[in-house]
Amino acid sequence: MALLETHDILVAFGGNRALDEISLEVEAGKVTGLIGPNGAGKTTMFNVVTGLLAPGAGKVQLDGKDITKLPPHKRAQLGLARTFQRLELFTSLTVRDNIRVAGEIRNHWGLGDNLDASVEAERVIELVGLQEVADREVSEIPTGTARVVELGRALMTKPRVLLLDEPASGQTEQETRAFGSLLRRLVEDGLAICLVEHDMALVMEVCEVIHVLDYGRMIAVGSPEEIRSNQAVIEAYLGAPAGL
């Protein structure tokens, strides 16, 4: 059974269905892709999963438990973490402090397994490769590097499921390759990752299963090889008639 599941999620704004009965599965130990053109509903889906947006219908389950009505902080305490399409960092703090503060917040959740936030922050900084910029303020580092800081901050909460919203945006090719290697290492340790990303090379490299949204509908689910050759996906991305 998948660690994270959604069933028939419906979200409508006015008369427009932003998500039209969307079901999704994210398994532990795998990177699952969620892709689609701009406006397809990907970030809306993340907002539903993390509790920032209530669906009109449907269900969100984490490890078999219905969490559809839980607030965001309760879902975080159960092991959901995310990054954002628009960076959400404390720009006046250093990289180290941005990461450490997430551990301190986690310690206030009352989970009974408090971290030494300073020690854990150093471990995470080394894991994600931020040692050289750890003492710099976030406002001073490139966007691609700041994306990794946000990932590190999410990891400080000890998530079971990690939702990444366009994490390669602003990264160089070299940074993206390193990021892909990092994602593969994280899932080897049992983490479940759902990746929203426009860098198709990264998606095809790290994802085992890819879900494709278009105008709020799920138009394809499959392996990278299956998605590459799917005519509905080609049409959604390229505007070419199906069958060409």
Residues 70 and 47: their CA atoms lie apart, in Å, by 13
What's the fold here for domain 1-79+160-244? Rossmann fold (3.40.50)
Digit-coded pLDDT (tens) for 80-129: 999 998 888 888 899 999 999 999 999 999 888 888 999 999 999 999 99
Helix axes 117-128, 95-107, angle to 10 degrees: 130
Complete DSSP assignment for 175-197: HHHHHHHHHHHHHHTT-EEEEE-
Q: What pLDDT is attached to residue 88?
A: 83
Q: What pLDDT is attached to residue 242?
A: 44
**Reduced to 3 states, what is the DSSP secondary structure of residue 201?**
helix
CA 90 to chain centre: 19
Average per-residue pLDDT for the chain: 92
**Reduced to 3 states, what is the DSSP secondary structure of residue 59?**
strand
CA 131 to chain centre: 23
For residue 164, what is the DSSP state? E
Average the pLDDT over each of 111-115, 181-185, 208-212 and give the range with the smallest value. 111-115
Average pLDDT (141-146) is 92
Give the number of other Cβ atoms within 10 Å of residue 54's Cβ: 10
Average pLDDT (53-65) is 96
Whether residue 27 contacts residue 2, with contact meaning beta carbons closer than 8 Å, is answered with yes
Q: What pLDDT is attached to residue 237?
A: 78
Average pLDDT (21-27) is 96
Residues of the chain with CATH 3.40.50.300: 1-79+160-244
